[in-house]
Chain A
């Protein structure tokens, strides 16, 4: 049911765990939906130097978190905010249709973490996003792909 890439990231997840003194933390999803993703960013001069995560969820949730950290490292914040769930899906060589919402979680976790960084540093920028819980949200039109 999962691609080899998904299984690789699930079995050997990259960048797991908390970052102490993170510059931005974003947590999306909820336990009711069965998926929670928490992302920790270390930011230096507008560039993501370090990115870790904790995830509660199934194989796809773990794999999307893992690959998202790889995609984000070294990116500027503006670049990071452009990360789409489609890019995450492509990087994993696809996800089963019922797991598409997990990739949304990754996209939204980054946005939440960057928003947290802006807030902490008094930077007056807003980040459009949602809480990543697809039970109550249909704004990501790729859900039903």
Chain B
């Protein structure tokens, strides 16, 4: 097959949709006023901003007053956790999360621990799931916040969010979910789902980087992270990025309008998964077969290291990522893969391929044609492979 460019790292970021870019462009030429200004162009910008907010609210099944625009998923995560933790100190300083959260959550928790909070990090099962029972068992009288991600960014595991929300409400504890990987990929209605807070990042659904929101259910107490001129109903200051609010609303609209197309993405992912596992010996699927984000695939290849794999895939035009230590500026492999029980060497040999509706069957065929020889090439170089094969021969 002729060399092609295959972007298979959609969990990292997605290609901005031209319709999204087109929708926000008038904010740079016409509606560029400051929404806080009382005169014409300011009020026009305010109307556009609130239109975007209303669109998001109706798509997400909540009230417009519960949507707060932020600069990204990480800001939303920081705000929700820190804001709820600080708002709850009279009741207690105990927080609960899981071992497989994104660093935006884990590092915020670590920072709160340094400030005197106590954090429980829940274990997950072999597929990366947090159980509602584990949450129930961990809640104490001084627990103020539980946060469990909606879907895992590395292995795609979808968490039992509704059940966890129910447990939290039964116990009177605020529940926040980092839904950066899930919004636009999983159908949800926020009022029905019952979470108190939820974060979203636009660049995972074909909006520009720097877009995001935090949903805060009416009545949830959250202190501010960013103080200033009192924008976003006094809760998140900073002159509103109207263009990005419009972009995010449009991207969400497009993602949800085409959510049925994710069945096609899932079918491509399943073909990729089954064929890789069939063609490449000593490989294993990380995460569950069912209850997983439709585009996510994560496989460990024994005896080789992930960064080498991604470099060679890149030389073939394929963009993918790995949970190897080599790729994340540390000597430790992915905390998610270690949490599901993988030994270090198998975590080092992991590869994440994340497909989107932009991908085609030809892309899948191209990956299937190029990946197995790359794995074999690295195995041929690897002392672990030769030693492993010797051992198998002896048995």
Which residues of A are in contact with B by a Cβ distance under 8 Å? 7, 10-11, 13, 16-18, 27, 31-38, 54-62, 98-99, 101, 134-135
Contacts and interface: CB of A to CB of B under 8 A. Distances in A.
Given A31-B384, A33-B325, A36-B384, 7 more contacts: A10-B311, A33-B331, A34-B325, A35-B326, A37-B383, A55-B383, A56-B304
Contact of B326 (A7, A55, A58): A58
B324 A34 contact: yes
Contacts of B311: 7, 10, 58-59
Contacts of A60: 326
B305 A61 contact: yes
B221 interface: no
Contacts of B324: 34, 58
A42 to B, nearest CB: 18
A98 B324 CA distance: 13
B331 A34 contact: yes
Interface in B293-333: 303-308, 311-312, 315, 324-327, 329-331, 333
B324 to A, nearest CB: 6
Nearest to B326: A58
Given A11-B315, A36-B384, A62-B308, A31 B331 contact: no
A135 B324 CA distance: 15
A54 B305 contact: no
Contacts of A38: 383
A20 B181 CA distance: 50
Given A18-B386, A58-B327, A134-B331, A31 B381 contact: no
Contacts of B384: 31, 36, 56
B382 A55 contact: yes
Contacts of A98: 329-330
B308 A54 contact: no
A10 to B, nearest CB: 6
Interface in B368-385: 380-385
B383 A58 contact: no
A48 B380 CA distance: 24
6 contacts: A10-B308, A16-B380, A34-B325, A36-B383, A37-B383, A55-B382
Contacts of B381: 13, 16-17, 54-56, 62
A16 to B, nearest CB: 5
B308 A31 contact: no
B344 interface: yes
Contacts of A54: 381-383, 386
Contacts of B307: 58-59
Given A58-B327, A98-B330, A32 B305 contact: no
B305 to A, nearest CB: 5
Contacts of B333: 34
A57 B307 CA distance: 8
A103 to B, nearest CB: 14
A134 B348 CA distance: 16
B307 to A, nearest CB: 4
A15 to B, nearest CB: 11
B327 A56 contact: no
A142 B330 CA distance: 16
A45 to B, nearest CB: 28
Nearest to B382: A56
